[in-house]
Amino acid sequence: MGILGQVLYLAVHPNQLRSIIQWKMWHELAYTRDPSKESATLKDCFKWLKMTSRSFATVVQELNPDLVVPVVLYYLVLRGLDTIEDDMTISLEEKEPLLRNFETILEKDGWTYDKNGPNEKDRELLVHFDDVITEFKLIDPKYRDTIKDITHKMGNGMADYASNAEHNINSVNTIKEYELYCHYVAGLVGDGLTRFFVEGGFVNPALSNRPELAESMGQFLQKTNIIRDVREDFDDKRRFWPKEIWSKHVDKFDDLFDPKHREAALACSSEMVLNSLRHTEECLFYMAGIKEQGVFNFVAIPQAMAIATLELVFQNPQIFETNVKITKGDAAQLMIESSQNLRTYCGKVEQFIESIYPSQDPKVLAQLAKGGGSGVVVTDNAKAIDDQAKSDVFYLLFAVLGTLFFISAIIAGARFDVALEELTKGNIFPNKEKILDTQQATTEPNKPTDPLSHGPWWDIKDGCFVSATMTARTGKERIAIVGAGPAGLTAGVLLHKHGVSFTIFELRHKPTSKELAQPIGVLDLHEETGLAAIKRCDLFNDFISLTGDCAEIMKIADQDGNVVFATSFNGESRPEISRHDLSQLLMSRIPAETIKWGHKLLSATSSTKSSHSEIQLDFGAHNKQTFDLVIGADGAWSRVRKLLTDVKPQYAERQIITLTIRQFTTRYPHLAELVGPGTFCALGNRHAVTAQQGSHDSARMYIFITTPDEDFATTSGLRNETALGAKNKLLSNSALLGLWGARTKELVTVACDEESIDHPGVNVDTRAVYELPIGHIWEHNPGTTLIGDAAHLMSPNGEGVNLGMWDAVMLSQATIKAYETAPQDAASFQNVLNPLMKEFEVEMVSGAKNAAEQGAKAKSTIVDNFRMAEAKDQVKYDRSPERVSRNVTEHSKSEVSQVSSETTAKVCNESGPHQNPFPSLDLSSR
């Protein structure tokens, strides 16, 4: 509509003209730009903001000044991401890596992008994206971190969608897929903004614990836009309406735009509107938690626009012909009304519902009958208002023109009451300073308003919103993960990635930065299990940057320390990582509030209701909590396992003593040379001494003692010994290490001495090794399952963590599928999940059984090779270090080193029937 058309339109719609004037003249913004104090790049950022979204450029000025620039940059970053995702002229091969790595672009000075199609309306933003990057680096780090986190999640979600759409003619099949897309492009936006608001103290902190409220805010806006823009998207060959909805009404999506199917199309659009409306209740709860008027305005205005848009598109055939929008006058009136308080916004919701489902009142029904049953109620009052508005047209035009011409510059503050007072005193030109003084005396811009007092229909209890007349949607599932080890954390990352809510409970206290900096053992992740799980979590690049402390090289020696053979693995297929680094990496992708530290599970009980099973977890001082799905990732002595089976771990006739040597290569270079850059293992008398290069220039040592005595730590006296006392007992007893050679004894001596210095007076860490029967499986119990050591505890063989992480992948796939397909209630969720969970448990146990059996086979192979290497006539070792070095080289070429990396990783001691006691993982937590 051109300028003339707008003038003519407003001339016959004076009520809309009045709203525009009221908004422009009377409304006071919280933030007023002063371009003279802005950098050139910040000015350009506001320029690109206005270019991409005039409405957002207006509403962002409602915010507290401290939030404006971070929110503007947040919007521009995500708009840039969305511009790449929306552009159908960019090939998937180019688009996908851009989307997945967009957060890294924010650190690249000068980055721009000019490959958008010529018709992409926001391409100029990316052409000048270096302005955004420059300003992004200047904002508070807490805002930068949030923006990067949301950008990473949104980019990967968009990439997943784009990849799926490339091979899926329907683009979106199910409602769950539809809502997952909306989560990535809008729900995550709400998450980031909520973090901003909570950080600044502008909202109730309880909003952090109710992510579904922010999610609904984004879902409602995005779904409204998708309904409104259906024709535009169709012309651009994009489809967002889910097939699950439109297929109920038409055979082909294209039929929605065929006039012959108009009635079916309208029925379909009504179902889409209904799907969007289910979020309004949670939107109300979210806004009830806002404590500052500017933030309330910023949030409420778009929501009110969305409500009005739904009213406009409801049963409106025009949406299938063109892109319909509310008028500027209506928008101005909405902004005036919705920026008052929550009760006013609720009125808009009620007004819309009334327009669709009129009250069953005799007078209303009579009006309907009078209107010919059209469904439109024209009341006498409404008609009077319309007549009055028409009669005001010339008066308003004259008043507007006169006001703009004579006094708009003087009373730009819109304080007409003050201006009138001055004029009645004969002051034709009021004193501007006096107006400002009066404004400051009658308003308190820094005093937060409290939308939490806008009505009697809600309350807050225990930090959560509770409705007296409405029941908020709590979600269909309550999921608990017991245990924050690698398996439990991996499950958490994958569930969070797909928008599934959960809580992790961990026995340990939250580790401090000092504790995380301590040396600890390393884990090697395998290509087909642990490393594959890392890739599923989108963490591979971050993971690789944390590896390298320990090389994939293993030396096998006799009890005197003479190397029998050595094997080098492919470091890319089984990279090593510190256990601390792995935990921190996984936790970086899980909201901190999701993990409940210091929660010791005392017991777990299951009960069956009429419709589904519930599992109650007793955390003692932290009370009892009830869940619909409990994932036991709580290790060897799992309490969740007791819900499924009476089988307990069995003693594996092995004990482990764990020691640490700090500054290993610096202080003990000769021992570092013996150990090498990877893992060293000396075997003899059914025992083993292993040393492994670790983080922070440390060496982690494990002494394995084979004994049928489960209480060996007590009977040997080691339980009450410090490291120094343990050294004497180990090296003086011929049944232990007393007959071993000087070099292996020196390694043990140094480790015990260093441990006693680091932990004076502390008893040495001696533990028994346990395992579950190979292939043990339980009868499925709805609502409960196990992963990792809780499901298939093995003697250490390098597979435990890897299998546990892959368990988490398989379990998450089943849970996400149930979450996305089941109706929104716990019973339906369990009904869909149960068969999937049974399949998962069978597959998991089978995989663990295979791994254990392969380990036993590998043990036999390695023992034979070890003995063969010592027995061959041509392999006569002299004991000099020079000869040992030569032996390693020679035998790396012999059939001894032909053993595959999978076999060598499961080396076991030379004379016992037990599995390998020297894996490349930290055993201290077993």
- The residues assigned a catalytic role are 181, 228, 238, 298
Residue 327's DSSP bridge partners are none
Region of 499 please: left (phi>0), alpha (psi -120 to 50) or beta.
left
Residue 659's DSSP bridge partners are 701
- Rounded to an integer, what distance in angstroms lies between the CA atom of residue 879 and that of residue 436? 94
Q: Which of 788, 463, 511 is nearest to 641 (CA)?
A: 788
Please, where are the H alpha helices in 484-578? 486-497, 513-516, 530-536, 540-544
Q: Which of 807, 784, 798 is nearest to 638 (CA)?
A: 784
Q: How many angstroms separate the most distant Cα atoms in the chain?
A: 121
Burial tier of 579 (Cβ tally within 10 Å: 0-12, 13-18, 19+) = buried
- Rounded to an integer, what distance in angstroms lies between the CA atom of residue 540 and that of residue 547? 11
Helix 393-406 with 380-391: angle, nearest 10 deg: 50
> How many CB atoms neighbour CB 28 within 10 A?
12
DSSP 3-state of 857: helix
* Residues in Cβ contact with 545 at an 8 Å cutoff, skipping those fewer than 6 apart: none
Is the Cβ–Cβ distance between 68 and 137 less than 8 Å? no
Dihedral, CA of residue 39, residue 43, residue 46 and residue 52, to nearest 10: -130
* Strand 679-684 with 553-558, pairing: parallel
Is the Cβ–Cβ distance between 697 and 663 less than 8 Å? yes
- Rounded to an integer, what distance in angstroms lies between the CA atom of residue 652 and that of residue 768? 8
Tell me the one-letter amino acid at 61. Answer: Q
- Rounded to an integer, what distance in angstroms lies between the CA atom of residue 274 and that of residue 357? 12
* Strand 629-632 with 624-627, pairing: unpaired
- Rounded to an integer, what distance in angstroms lies between the CA atom of residue 923 and that of residue 798? 10
- Rounded to an integer, what distance in angstroms lies between the CA atom of residue 164 and that of residue 403? 57
DSSP 3-state of 369: helix
Residues shown for the chain? 926
Q: How far is CA 78 from the centre of its chain?
A: 17
- Rounded to an integer, what distance in angstroms lies between the CA atom of residue 615 and that of residue 633? 15
Is the Cβ–Cβ distance between 556 and 564 less than 8 Å? yes
* Residues in Cβ contact with 817 at an 8 Å cutoff, skipping those fewer than 6 apart: 832, 836
- Rounded to an integer, what distance in angstroms lies between the CA atom of residue 120 and that of residue 504? 44
Look up residue 625 and give its two tokens.
Answer: 């909590």
Buried residues in 130-152 as b, exposed as e (16+ CB within 10 A): bbbbbbbeeeeeebbebbbbbbb
Is the Cβ–Cβ distance between 702 and 751 less than 8 Å? no
Q: Residue 763 gets which letter from DSSP?
A: B
- 141: part of which helix (H) or strand (E)? helix 141-166
Residue 658's DSSP bridge partners are 702, 765
- Rounded to an integer, what distance in angstroms lies between the CA atom of residue 898 and that of residue 864? 13
* Strand 603-608 with 613-618, pairing: antiparallel
Which backbone phi and psi does 571 adopt, to 5 degrees? -60, -25
Is the Cβ–Cβ distance between 880 and 484 less than 8 Å? no
